[in-house]
Amino acid sequence: MTTSAQHAKRLLELHHQATPVILPTVWDAWSAETCASLGFSALTIGSHPVADSLGQADGEAMELSEVLAVVRRITDVVEIPVSVDLESGYDTPAEELVHRTLEAGAVGINIEDTVHSMDEMRSAEEHAAYIAAIRAAADATDTHLVINGRTDAFTTDADPEAQLTDALHRMHLLEQAGADSLYPVKVPTRGHLEKILSAVSTPLNVTAHPVNGAVPEGLSLQEVSAMGVKRISFGPLLQRSLTDAMHEILQPWTPAS
- The whole-number pLDDT of residue 118 equals 86
CB 213 within 8 A of CB 219: yes
- The whole-number pLDDT of residue 168 equals 98
pLDDT in tens, 161-178: 999 999 999 999 999 999
Architecture of domain 4-246: Alpha-Beta Barrel (3.20)
- The whole-number pLDDT of residue 137 equals 98
- The whole-number pLDDT of residue 12 equals 98
Residue 225 has a CB neighbour count (10 Å cut-off) of: 16
Instruction: Kindly state the helix (H) or strand (E) to which residue 77 belongs, with its residue range.
Output: none
Grade residue 257 by pLDDT with cuts at 50, 70 and 90: low
Stretch 102-109: mean pLDDT: 98
- The whole-number pLDDT of residue 54 equals 94
Residue 130 has pLDDT above 90, yes or no: yes
Grade residue 246 by pLDDT with cuts at 50, 70 and 90: very high
Residue 76 has a CB neighbour count (10 Å cut-off) of: 11
| Out of 52-61, 80-89, 193-202, 223-232, least confident range | 52-61
Q: Where are the alpha helices (DSSP H) in the chain?
A: 4-14, 29-37, 47-53, 64-75, 94-103, 124-139, 160-177, 190-199, 221-227, 237-250
Residue 108 per-residue DSSP state: E
Sign of CA dihedral 211, 216, 221, 222: positive
Percentage, residues of the chain above pLDDT 70: 99
pLDDT in tens, 209-228: 998 999 999 999 999 999 99
Burial class (CB in 10 A: 0-12, 13-18, 19+), 16: exposed
Residue 117 has pLDDT above 90, yes or no: no
Residue 63 has pLDDT above 90, yes or no: yes
The three-class DSSP label of residue 219 is strand
Q: Which residues have a Cβ under 8 Å from the Cβ of 245 and sit 6 or more positions away?
A: none
Domains of the chain: which residue ranges?
4-246
Residue 1 has pLDDT above 90, yes or no: no
Cα-flanking dihedrals φ and ψ of residue 127, to 5°?
Answer: -65, -45
pLDDT in tens, 23-50: 999 999 999 999 999 999 999 999 999 9
Give 7-76 as a DSSP string.
HHHHHHHHTTSSSPEEE-EE-SHHHHHHHHHTT-S-EEE-HHHHHHHTT--TTT-S-HHHHHHHHHHHHT
Look at residues 205, 213, 204 and name the one whose alpha carbon lies nearest to residue 241.
Answer: 213
Q: How far apart are CA 112 and CA 219, in angstroms?
A: 24
Q: How far apart are CA 50 and CA 249, in angstroms?
A: 23
Burial class (CB in 10 A: 0-12, 13-18, 19+), 148: buried
Distance of CA 182 to the CA centre of its chain: 10
pLDDT in tens, 141-155: 989 999 999 999 999
